[in-house]
Structure 1
Amino acid sequence: MNFDQVHQRHNTYSIKWDGAQDVYQNPEVIPMWIADMDFQSPKPIIEAVQKQVAQGIYGYTVEPGMTEIPSVIAQWLQQRNAWQIVPENLGYSAGVVNGLSMAIRGLTKEGDAIITQTPLYGHFKLAIEASKRQLITNPLMKTAQGYQIDWVDLETKIQTHHVKMAILCNPHNPTGRVWTPAELRHFVQICQKYQVIILSDDIHSDLILPGNHYSPLATVCPEYQDHMITFKSPSKTFNLAGFQFAYYYTTNEAYQTAMQQAASYASNPDLPTTLALPALKAAYQAGQPWLDELLIYLADNLQFLTDQIESQTKAQVTRSQATYLAWIDVSYLKVSEEQLQMALDQGGVGVQTNEEFDLTAQDGLFIRLNFATPRTILEEGIQRLIKVLQDLDQA
């Protein structure tokens, strides 16, 4: 796979590229914001999708559980994560956020408190507040060793606010932390003490950068697996977000029933699109070689942008262990978030900042940048970013 190849994504109905004009004022902006990659999916996926398209009929798709898909997923989880699941315990949704919303609505009541770590993935907040639940935040601690969970704050807030549910992002978006087995056990111990339901968003778990190791929460703490739901999808891994398909796993039949009942209020939220199932099957059965090459390319991109940014500015790039999202600390700048956003827009680089991650000025000033793009595009984007940071620092 040639990850250096540049693909024209304008006029392809791409949110990242065509939708950037609704977010940024600069028509020449390089979009490095939303989390999809500028790489073609593996050839086996493209061939499987083309075969499905060629039949020319695009009606409703059968339930995944009525096909071989559950066993394909089970084989992938065993191969990738040494996680042996019971395929019948899988559930399905139109996306991970959709699945999280089903769990929130099915397993908690209006007004219930739900806790998650900040900086947070913005859709966690939207899903919680749209369901009329109370968002409780557990700010991560930024240390010399990387981001850490504040255990005292976590337990205090769970107890004080009578928290019913916790959402864990494993690995964490946007910081790229891969939680260790010891950290996962500590997290579960606190939740178990107060009987808190755990939703584990593991959508980035196949994007673990070389030298790091991911553990599914259920494998680390099987004794509490009846009180947790793990959400996954091939969407981030193989650039299939447009197919709108995810799956979740829980050994708790009551959780499955409650989520399905919550889903019944929506419009076919668990039916996949016509192309989703053949794409997943091809990805999980033949996508591994492509993924191995991708992770090396992403690690090189991250090292490149880190070297460039830290050698030419005072910004600090988080040593990410996973994902293709760089988390950059620019708190040294004496500007507001609005001033930073305006300067970045004018400078032609489209990224995301504090507000998207429920951070305030008191938390510092941060940028999230998507580096899953060919090196030539990345080089231009980073040059633009560096110039903006230098100009702001000198102003």
Structure 2
Amino acid sequence: MEVINMNFDQVNQRYGTYSMKWDGAQNVYHNPDVIPMWIADMDFQSPQPVIDAIKKQAATGIYGYTTEPNMTAIPQIIATWLQQQNHWTINPDNLGYSAGVVNGLGLAIRALTQKGDAIITQTPLYGHFKIAVENSKRQLISNPLIKKDGAYSFDWDNLEKQISDNQVKMVILCNPHNPTGRVWTNEELKRFAQICQQHQVIILSDDIHSDLILPGNTYQPLAKIYPEYQDHIITFKSPSKTFNLAGLQFAYYYTTNPDYQKQMQSAAAYASNPDLPTAFALPALTAAYQDSQDWLHELLAYLADNLQWLTEEIETQTPAQVTRSQATYLSWIDVSYLRCSEDELLTALDAGGIGVQTNREFGLDEQAGLFIRLNFATPRELLETGVIRLIKVLQQLEKD
């Protein structure tokens, strides 16, 4: 099938499309002219095969309940994709499904731990990890990553101490990591799993960004790298970030542990079947995984160019440091040199017309420094306007 919409420079009008990123920005920022670079979805159209599949489904004119994915070809399509992308051979029968990765994490937390149990994750963290844990009445333990020479790594001694001291029952791993963009090495993943194995800690691995690996980097699933502990690892994935399908509400998870599967499916049934996909999710996934590899290849090249450009612009015009992301379309910018509070930074950015997220969204207080997460999955024209606004604000704050 010919791919015809690979013009990532095309600026798409998203106002009035029920976009949380654009329409919803008016409820978050005060400046009506703000360029929203906060929520992690892209300003690019999805691949043409996906658009065509959704149009075909829409043309039926009937949007009733969708069949369960395991009653279709979807499990094998996912298995084939994981084999192609990650050289990971899975049994399709071991797949489970949820409305999104966060929904799946919530199911696992409620199904496999008890109220009051301690769950650990690394900070800076993806904010919905905190919400999923605390809304389930569990205790969140923050395990800070070490930042050295602009790169992030695990603090192994502290990780093991925190697990032991708090009798941690579960850990949420982000692979690759959001917001820092780290792709964990095979050695890091093995050591992480070995520590969890020693303390019998269940691992939830959020791998939603695992197809967005920037050129020159390599991702591996933890369950593949360390099969010795795979029965206690649940891997969560979705086409949503990769192909800009978050609004279709579909994700999947994989575990070789049948008890985990049963308990999560029971929790899903109790929660009124949040694992059933929308009418458009399954045809969209099929088209994405079977017919959109060329689009993804071009996307990754475009994202890498965007990241290189914004890094050079920001670091040559301000003292800010842009983390050398290895994955995702999210840049993590250290502006700790500024002598202002986080609230003052946010107010200035809003007034300057740039909508981003800062420390508190990622479990960091100002003692850890001052950071900005900026979404660069946007046409270069918009990126340039946004980054110019960001630089202007940072330069003004430095003078004040």
| Smaller-chain TM-score bracket | over 0.9
- Residue 270 of structure 2 aligns to a residue whose secondary structure is coil
Q: Distance in 2 between matches of 1:146 and 1:177?
A: 8
- Paired residue for 2:323? 318
- How many residues align? The count is 395
- Paired residue for 2:231? 226
Q: Distance in 1 between matches of 2:116 and 2:370?
A: 31
Alignment of 1:138-287 (within 5 A): 138-144=143-149, 146-287=151-292
- Paired residue for 1:24? 29
Q: Distance in 2 between matches of 1:274 and 1:190?
A: 42
Aligned with residue 301 of structure 2, among 296, 309, 316: 296
Q: Distance in 2 between matches of 1:265 and 1:334?
A: 50
- 1:145 Cα deviation after fit: 6.0
- Residue 162 of structure 2 aligns to a residue whose secondary structure is helix
Alignment of 1:74-85 (within 5 A): 74-85=79-90
Aligned with residue 388 of structure 1, among 377, 393, 400: 393
- Residue 229 of structure 1 aligns to a residue whose secondary structure is strand
- Paired residue for 1:376? 381
Q: Distance in 1 between matches of 2:303 and 2:47?
A: 16
Give the counterpart letter for 1:121 in structure 2: Y
Q: Distance in 1 between matches of 2:23 and 2:169?
A: 40
- 1:267 Cα deviation after fit: 2.1
Alignment of 1:97-112 (within 5 A): 97-112=102-117
- Residue 168 of structure 1 aligns to a residue whose secondary structure is strand
Aligned with residue 119 of structure 1, among 117, 124, 133: 124
CA contact (8 A) 2:150 2:323 kept: no
Deviations 1:46-95 (A, max 9, x none): 00000000010000000000000000000000000000000000000000
Deviations 1:135-173 (A, max 9, x none): 001100001161000000000000000000000000000
Q: Which consecutive segments of 4 or more residues in structure 1 shift more than 6 A?
A: none
Deviations 1:295-322 (A, max 9, x none): 0000000000000000000000000000
Q: Distance in 1 between matches of 2:117 and 2:267?
A: 16
CA contact (8 A) 2:69 2:282 kept: yes
Q: Distance in 2 between matches of 1:267 and 1:324?
A: 33
- Paired residue for 2:15? 10
- Paired residue for 2:73? 68
Give the counterpart letter for 1:382 in structure 2: V
- Asked whether 1:332 is paired with 2:337, we answer yes
Q: Note the residue ranges of structure 2 that are not aligned, 5 or more in a row.
A: 1-5
Q: Note the residue ranges of structure 1 that are not aligned, 5 or more in a row.
A: none
Deviations 1:279-337 (A, max 9, x none): 00000001100000000000000000000000000000000000000000000000000
Aligned with residue 365 of structure 1, among 321, 346, 370: 370
Deviations 1:323-379 (A, max 9, x none): 000000000000000000000000000000000001001000000000000000000
Aligned with residue 344 of structure 1, among 323, 338, 349: 349
- 1:261 Cα deviation after fit: 1.3
Aligned with residue 47 of structure 2, among 42, 48, 51: 42
- Report the TM-score, using the length of structure 1 for normalisation: 1.00
Deviations 1:183-202 (A, max 9, x none): 00000010000000000000
Deviations 1:24-56 (A, max 9, x none): 000000000000000000000000000000010
Q: Distance in 1 between matches of 2:197 and 2:131?
A: 26
- Residue 135 of structure 1 aligns to a residue whose secondary structure is strand
- Report the TM-score, using the length of structure 2 for normalisation: 0.98
- Asked whether 1:128 is paired with 2:133, we answer yes
Aligned with residue 309 of structure 1, among 311, 314, 320: 314
- Residue 3 of structure 1 aligns to a residue whose secondary structure is coil
Aligned with residue 86 of structure 1, among 59, 84, 91: 91
Q: Distance in 2 between matches of 1:227 and 1:14?
A: 37
- Residue 264 of structure 1 aligns to a residue whose secondary structure is helix
Q: Distance in 2 between matches of 1:31 and 1:267?
A: 34
Give the counterpart letter for 2:274 in structure 1: P
- 1:265 Cα deviation after fit: 2.1
Give the counterpart letter for 1:158 in structure 2: I
Aligned with residue 62 of structure 2, among 57, 61, 67: 57
